[in-house]
Structure 1
Amino acid sequence: MRTDAFALRHLGPRESDLNHMLKTIGVATLDQLIYETIPDDIRLKNDLNLEAPMSEFEYLTHIQELGKKNKVFKSYIGLGYHPTIIPAVIQRNIFENPGWYTAYTPYQAEIAQGRLEAILNFQTTVIELTGMEIANASLLDEGTAAAEAMALLFDVRTRDQKKNNVKKFFVSEEILPQTLSVLQTRSTPLNIELVVGNHETFDFSTEFFGAILQYPGKYGQVYDYAGFIAKAAENEIKVAVAADILSLAKLTPPGEMGAAVVVGTTQRFGIPMGYGGPHAGYFATKEEFKRSMPG
């Protein structure tokens, strides 16, 4: 092989190559190719009315000026959203560490390797804090993760539950409202019947295949769910827990209480609220359910 063959293959077509390609396709020009490919009724009749281009510096200055027009207020929404502070040493030496994304040489895939290592760190952190056996590499947000937990528990119903079409799913009234909205949307196509109520008065009926609890509750209450989860297990009801992952540094992990799935958001780990999100969700479960977990 010629030593310059690699460069020849990667520098794009020369004029002679272009003519050969057009001849092979059977058109005279690139314009003819476009006109024969794209229907006339969706092509613009005039050139785009674009402003004069900006240099990189001009553009950065422009977007900074636009950003100053935003009015930033304190948020008191709570309900799973929290103002956060990222210590400068963490931001610079971990989040912005060029070791994650700078290639040592152009042909080596350090960016991919750095991302894989970051994902492994993420999964390991989730597993250790939740007390579960396996975690995926994140989801869109807490609501989505909760809906996936519901779908997983529906999928892993016992043979008798599937045979008897057991389709009720208990949702604690402590659940965050945006999470409940996603559960309502995602339960419809699966024909899952949501039952929202007080976990302290739940009757553990055999009509239920699963349940989801909020930990801590939406008003900050810390419940011991071990008894609920044990009673649910006696009735073949598997339990998911939507947990504030930062609180798990102090509270008993749901995995130690016997939860089948633990979900939540990682916004608590220093991600700005960003006008409401979404923020990377986490999803952890047991090894036996890995074939049914998302991602």
Structure 2
Amino acid sequence: MKKLWMACALLLPASLYAQTATLVPPANISYAGLEKNLFFYANTRCKVTQTGSNQLDLNKLFDGRYDPSYTSAPSESDPTVITIEGFQAQHTQRLAYIGWTTRYWAPVHFKIEGYDMSGPGWVTLAEVTNHAAGEFIKDIASIPGLYGLFRFTFYTGSGPQGQLGISELFYLNGEAAQAYDGLMVRYDAANNVTMGSKLRPSNLNVNGQVNTNRVKVTQDSWADFVFDPAYTLPSLPTVEKFIQDNQHLPNIPSAKEVTDKGLDLGDISARLLQKIEELTLYMIEQHKKIETLTKENQAMGEKIQQLQNERSTR
């Protein structure tokens, strides 16, 4: 039965609900917009819990794609309840919206609550019955508070048997959005992203530590030219003289250059590989010389032993 009504949902006309939330202007002409959704990926960066027998796909509710999630019919006695917590609370004194959007089977009876950290506790921001639109947007600036938790309770849906569909949950706060942009992340139309700094020298600028499992750098050239027979390996006396004059290896940036300009990871990796390959050639050359000297010493030892044996027989 569940597969049947899910299939029916996909066959419903796309115009059933507009799902554009046009009441909220873009953030570039307002203090808040849907692109400033503070719930964006809340299921991975905040704490999201869900209760009720009929549950929605949390991954779809916060990914910004507006791809609907459907569930069997909730009820007044067994509602679907989603609680979001763990993000930085900001006052809703100037401009703030909260709501949801969907494509099919919108909630008919629902309630949205916020937990005011400044004292009152849970505050009902909206409770609606007999709702008939495919979206709900509530300006909660008239209900000022320092909200650190939000709770969405869906009692009934508009599906054929009361099923529920939700595409996205959103919370837009002009004051929080401005602080988020100014202190943490900035981005512009040129695809530049800046974290922790107002400087934008490159497409991604991070003022702080970056933790990652792996970094892949694409290079147009690599240092294997060292092994080309036409490559001239610098002599060790030449390298020694350069080090004495400059206090760093040839073709490697100095400490001052790194301090002033930083490092290109791909470029410095290629340069360091070049030095490793040159060292390898030096070692091979030294190994050949050592082998030659070893053989010469062995031959000389045998000659000395032969002369000693001849003298002892006289």
TM bracket, shorter-chain basis: under 0.3
Query: When you count strand as a share of all residues, which structure comes out higher?
Result: 2
- With a CA cutoff of 8 Å and minimum separation of 6, indicate the structure with the bigger relative contact order: 1
TM-score by length of 1: 0.20
TM-score by length of 2: 0.19
